[in-house]
């Protein structure tokens, strides 16, 4: 152990993850906390890290309040509708009322925004989306964070949160290791803002074998955002609300610009509008939700999944019409250049020119995240001016562990934040964290040398497992005493896929399957003690897997708890196929006891703070 040097850093605000929410938090922390010491720690390099690493083509959350295009209330109604009624409206409203100011800063910082030449307004792609030339998006927000932080640490993976020894429910920092040098890092901090993205690769992906690693959500999003707070005893919400995306096949290329800007549409292999075919069947399952406008994302998936199961596939995107317009053809291709260039490569390799061939679509494996058309994540306090009592405990975006804040994918209940909303939520969390410190809530935090040393032993154990175990290898890589991160990952993905509703079972699960899945996950947890890592990169893989595994347990517990099928098209409870508003119009909240590792579940009320105006207008 001595060979891994220990570095200590004391600070006021520690931001874990320098993606969209993390850069927003780092930037805003400096605004309110001029004299505070602010550190941002990132697993990759913040210039090109997180889900926006490659760039984006649209900012998906912009109200346009200055032109009265939309108001925050409209966004709450939109998110509520899309999530089948279940969101934290206080969090959504709070994000929406601030998001425009974030986007205006991006504009000032030099992000190339497309503008409507006639009106001078941002070019809309859809009601909420504005178009950008977004290849430089991430380096631009990273620069703002770099100018604001006392220090940015790249290439350090945070593995555990440190807890105050004077108050077992108060955070005191975090520990991790540098993936290049192997050095051990201890960050003793008065507050921690977790902004570590969502979770991909917990369910078996469609892309396996030579395509493995290709997923829709960033493959490096490994659920640290959930695992870190879960392990510290923070409550989580809506973890069953995993998301399934309809995307171009094999490259997971985005479809938003195609639907919204190019006005393309989908059809089955016979050229039929299959969504209509499934209307009556869907109505029996979810009632009037199918009549809502726009149709909730999960219900559109549902029609897709049903049609494919009924033999109507492949489902295609009708591009042949739009692509006859040279401008739209260019937009169609450029859409991939900004964020998913791989889709263009896939089409080239499969001889698909969308001008002459309608490309195939598919539904993805499930992902866990809090910023898209889904809202899994930490159960956090809302803002004091609008949150009901059950949703408010002192500091905006603070979790149920004192001093521990979250933003972006980390935070549950507030869907449809996307890149701009995640950055905004980082800003909100940072402002509250500064206030927490100014209110003297972070006094007398005790972090002993012993606590840090214990974590050090735990963190490097996979290296030791490998060093000892490799002597027993007699052929190839098969070892009697340890297993590798990739072997563990595939085992996890198989469990989640087959028992918790992944692609190979058409997203179907039930109580018996979930109970069996939980048993297998528990055994996996036991075996993870024997994971081996041959170098620091594999050590990162080992810790990514451990974080994915605990996230998966939480997802499975939540899926077992909610006895209804609230989001057909995301997953199905075969033993409770119908949406059940009478018993389940509520949020689910879990807590894992850090001492026993056991989860407990509870229901929390959904408060509809925002009225139904828009619905009335529409009718």
Contacting residues toward ligand FAD, per CB under 6 A: 16-22, 41-44, 49-52, 56-60, 157-158, 195-197, 216-218, 220-222, 224, 254, 339, 371, 408-409, 418-420, 422
13 or 56: whose CB is closer to ligand FAD?
A: 56
225 or 520: whose CB is closer to ligand FAD?
A: 225
149 or 520: whose CB is closer to ligand FAD?
A: 149
Distance CA 407, CA 404 (A): 11
Name every residue whose Cβ is closer than 8 Å to that of residue 149 and which is 6 or more positions away in sequence. Answer: 15, 26, 30, 38, 39, 40
- Minimal distance in Å, beta carbon 176 to ligand FAD? 6
Distance CA 251, CA 135 (A): 18
- Minimal distance in Å, beta carbon 19 to ligand FAD? 2
Q: Around 328, how many Cα atoms within 13 Å sit in the side-chain half-sphere?
A: 18
- Minimal distance in Å, beta carbon 296 to ligand FAD? 18
**What are the Cα distances from residue 569, in Å, to 258, 305, 493?**
21, 7, 19
Structure tokens at 375: 């809202």
44 or 399: whose CB is closer to ligand FAD?
A: 44
Please report where in the chains the tokens 């949703």 appear, as a residue. 391
- Minimal distance in Å, beta carbon 247 to ligand FAD? 9
- Minimal distance in Å, beta carbon 370 to ligand FAD? 7
Dihedral angle at the C-alpha atoms of 496, 502, 504, 508, nearest 10 degrees? 110
- Minimal distance in Å, beta carbon 263 to ligand FAD? 18
- Minimal distance in Å, beta carbon 551 to ligand FAD? 11
- The SS3 call for residue 599 is strand
158 or 489: whose CB is closer to ligand FAD?
A: 158
73 or 125: whose CB is closer to ligand FAD?
A: 125
174 contacts 162 by C-beta, under 8 angstroms: yes
**What are the Cα distances from residue 257, in Å, to 253, 268, 318, 338?**
11, 20, 13, 12
125 or 307: whose CB is closer to ligand FAD?
A: 125
Residue nearest to ligand FAD (CB): 19
Identify any residues that bridge with 59 across adjacent strands, giving them in sequence order. Answer: 130
291 or 535: whose CB is closer to ligand FAD?
A: 535
Distance CA 430, CA 263 (A): 39
State the DSSP string of 285-342: HHGGGGGSSSPPHHHHHHHHHHHHHTT-PPPEEE-TTGGGSHHHHHHHHHHHHTT-HH
Distance CA 30, CA 294 (A): 39
Distance CA 547, CA 525 (A): 11
CA-based nearest residue to 161, from 423, 399, 377: 399
- Minimal distance in Å, beta carbon 256 to ligand FAD? 6
Phi-psi category of 420—alpha, beta or left, where left has phi over 0 and alpha has psi -120 to 50? alpha
- Minimal distance in Å, beta carbon 579 to ligand FAD? 26
Distance CA 441, CA 203 (A): 40
Distance CA 410, CA 368 (A): 10
111 or 495: whose CB is closer to ligand FAD?
A: 111
- Minimal distance in Å, beta carbon 39 to ligand FAD? 12
- Minimal distance in Å, beta carbon 388 to ligand FAD? 25
36 or 540: whose CB is closer to ligand FAD?
A: 540
239 or 339: whose CB is closer to ligand FAD?
A: 339
**What are the Cα distances from residue 345, in Å, to 213, 250, 288, 332, 342?**
16, 10, 41, 14, 5
């Amino acid at each position: 152990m001595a060979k891994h040097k220990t570095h200590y850093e004391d600070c006021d605000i520690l931001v874990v993850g320098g993606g969209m929410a993390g850069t927003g938090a780092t930037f805003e922390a400096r605004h309110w906390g001029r004299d505070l010491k602010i550190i941002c720690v990132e697993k990759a390099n913040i210039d090109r890290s997180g889900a926006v690493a490659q760039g984006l083509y649209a900012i998906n959350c912009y109200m346009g309040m200055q032109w009265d295009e939309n108001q925050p209330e409209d966004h709450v109604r939109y998110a509520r509708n899309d999530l089948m009624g279940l969101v934290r409206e206080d969090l959504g409203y709070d994000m929406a009322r601030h998001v425009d100011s974030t986007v205006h800063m991006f504009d000032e910082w030099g992000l190339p925004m497309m503008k409507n030449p006639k009106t001078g307004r941002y070019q809309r792609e859809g009601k909420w989306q504005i178009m950008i030339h977004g290849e430089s998006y991430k380096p631009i927000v990273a620069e703002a964070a770099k100018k604001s932080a006392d220090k940015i640490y790249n290439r350090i993976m945070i593995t555990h949160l440190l807890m105050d020894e004077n108050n077992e429910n108060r955070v005191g920092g975090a520990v991790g290791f540098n993936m290049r040098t192997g050095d051990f890092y201890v960050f003793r901090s008065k507050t921690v803002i977790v902004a570590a993205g969502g979770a991909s690769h917990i369910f078996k992906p469609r892309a396996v074998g030579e395509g493995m690693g290709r997923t829709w959500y960033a493959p490096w999003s490994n659920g640290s955002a959930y695992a870190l707070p879960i392990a510290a005893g923070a409550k989580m919400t809506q973890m069953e609300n995993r998301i399934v995306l309809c995307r171009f096949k094999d490259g997971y290329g985005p479809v938003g610009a195609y639907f919204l800007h190019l006005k393309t549409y989908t059809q089955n292999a016979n050229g039929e509008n299959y969504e209509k075919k499934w209307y009556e069947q869907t109505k029996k399952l979810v009632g009037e939700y199918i009549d809502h406008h726009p149709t909730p994302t999960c219900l559109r998936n549902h029609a897709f999944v049903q049609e494919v199961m009924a033999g109507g596939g492949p489902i295609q995107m009708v591009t042949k019409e739009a692509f006859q317009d040279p401008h739209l053809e260019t937009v169609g291709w450029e859409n991939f250049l900004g964020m998913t260039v791989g889709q263009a490569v896939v089409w080239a390799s499969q001889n698909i020119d969308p001008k002459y061939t309608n490309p195939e679509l598919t539904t993805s494996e499930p992902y866990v995240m809090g910023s898209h058309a889904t809202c899994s994540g930490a159960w956090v306090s809302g803002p004091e001016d609008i949150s009901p009592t059950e949703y408010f405990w002192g500091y905006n975006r603070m979790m149920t562990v004192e001093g521990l804040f979250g933003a972006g994918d980390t935070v549950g209940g507030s869907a449809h934040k996307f890149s701009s909303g995640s950055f905004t939520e980082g800003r909100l969390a940072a402002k509250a964290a500064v206030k927490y410190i100014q209110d003297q809530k972070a006094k007398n935090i005790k972090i002993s040398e012993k606590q840090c040393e214990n974590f050090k032993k735990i963190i490097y154990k996979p290296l030791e497992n490998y060093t000892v175990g490799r002597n027993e290898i007699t052929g190839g890589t098969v070892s009697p005493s340890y297993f590798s991160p990739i072997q563990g990952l595939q085992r996890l993905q198989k469990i989640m896929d087959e028992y918790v509703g992944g692609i190979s079972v058409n997203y179907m699960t039930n109580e018996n399957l979930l109970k069996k899945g939980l048993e297998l996950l528990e055994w996996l947890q036991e075996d993870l003690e024997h994971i081996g890592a041959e170098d620091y990169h594999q050590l990162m893989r080992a810790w990514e897997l451990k974080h994915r595994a605990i996230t998966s347990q939480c997802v499975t517990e939540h899926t077992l708890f909610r006895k209804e099928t609230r989001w057909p098209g995301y997953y199905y409870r075969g033993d409770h196929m119908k949406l059940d508003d009478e018993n389940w119009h509520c949020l689910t909240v879990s807590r894992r006891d850090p001492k026993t590792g056991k989860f407990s579940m509870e229901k929390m009320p959904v408060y509809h703070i925002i009225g139904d105006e828009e619905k009335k207008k529409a009718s």
